[in-house]
Amino acid sequence: MPTVLLVDDENLFRQTAATYLRANLPGCEVLEAENGLVALELISRHSVDCLVTDLRMPVFDGISLLTEILNRRLLCPVLVLSAYATPEVERWALANHAFALLDKPVALEELFRVVQGLLRPYETSRIEGVSIFGLCQLLEMEKKTAEVHVTAQGRRGRLTFVDGTLSDAVWQGGDGQQAAIEVLSWPNPTVEVLGRTIPRAKTIDVTLSFLMMETVRLLDEGGRADRPATDRPVIELDAAWATMDEPATQEFIRALVADQPRKTLPPSETPTDPKETTMANVERTLQKIAELPGFVGASVVDTESGMSVGQLGSGLNLEVAAALNSEVVRAKHRAIEALGLSDTIDDILISLTKQYHLIRPLRSRPSFFIYLALERSKANLAMARLLLSDAEKDLEF
């Protein structure tokens, strides 16, 4: 049940507005506070989904309340009401957690309309069982502006995307880059996606890819014994992004693959054993791909089983890469489905410091994909994408 906190020292207006909201927002709890101190006390005991506050109040005013909310890193949208708001005050409020500002006296219908709009994302956009890594990658790829609110084991955090760039992150313990890594590492998250953002300062200057790899690295260093098995899909999604030529990284990835639960298919749907597949055309295709500048390795992979039906190259462990990149493709499909996008994957590009990893699902057989690794300093990415597009036409199963 969503909760609205209405903070105003004018008792008649506050009580009237609270009564109106209760009557027009069935199932919504409306709390009242006469100043900022009472509001903070209520916030400490209740989960508040929308805060409506006056600015000029005795004891503890609205500006002090907004400042304290920022200091405590509370994550609810704020609507400011004021009869004395100058343009400077309005700019300050919008830059410091407020979503909107209404001049007083405010019509109750207008107050209801704005509050309803602030609450609606919490009612309609909750996503469960979706990889947070896959969702963030999709927001980046589609250049979306959105807020991702993440809840897990009593912790709550927020990731803010602006035109596909992760620009801000916050949770109760901090903000910026470290907050993003913390939120990305949470197991079994419940995710709420808001298709708009409250104006916020940019606190992150590194790429989403870097943050994902850093999250995996820190989880690896911290050990996995105390982390539940249901957390593994989030970590496995990004394991293939790591540089695989380091022994410690290979050992970590092997442990993930060993613990990986596989999807069980009915006998009629079980993929053919790769060893029994006619390999001549696959080998010819891989030989053609191997002529690319900077070639490290390539394989043709069955997404459902995670097994390679053909591979070429010695620069990395292609069996491990096949299994882990199958998780990448499956996670991307889940994210597309969860967001209700009527679209297909053209290719997935993973840019490492020294390598490009390119994944291209086959249009004729979407359950298979070509995986290609290239040395970044020697590669021609446009040429590689063009060649993969042509190569898939030669594959026959």
**pLDDT tens digits for range 186-232:** 877 777 777 656 656 788 988 888 888 788 777 766 643 333 333 33
Query: Residue 250: what pLDDT?
Result: 42
Q: Exposed, middle or buried: residue 273 (CB in 10 Å: 0-12, 13-18, 19+)?
A: exposed
Q: For residue 121, say if its preceding peptide bond is cis, omega within 30 degrees of 0.
A: no
Q: What percent of the chain has pLDDT over 70?
A: 77
Query: Residue 107: what pLDDT?
Result: 92
Banded model confidence at residue 96, pLDDT cuts 50, 70, 90: low
Query: Residue 283: what pLDDT?
Result: 84
Query: Residue 41: what pLDDT?
Result: 92
The answer to whether 156 and 171 have CB atoms below 8 angstroms apart is yes
Domain ranges of the chain: 3-124, 127-239, 264-394
Torsion of CA 6, 11, 13, 15, to 10 degrees: 60
The answer to whether 292 and 319 have CB atoms below 8 angstroms apart is no
- Best CA proximity match to 178, nearest among 220, 211, 217: 211
- What is the pLDDT averaged over residues 339-368? 88
More confident residue, 2 or 396: 2
Q: pLDDT digits over 108-125, tens only?
A: 999 998 888 777 654 434
- What is the pLDDT averaged over residues 48-61? 90
Query: Residue 1: what pLDDT?
Result: 75
Architecture of domain 264-394: 2-Layer Sandwich (3.30)
pLDDT of residue 316 exceeding 70: yes
The answer to whether 344 and 367 have CB atoms below 8 angstroms apart is no
Query: Residue 344: what pLDDT?
Result: 87
Architecture of domain 3-124: 3-Layer(aba) Sandwich (3.40)
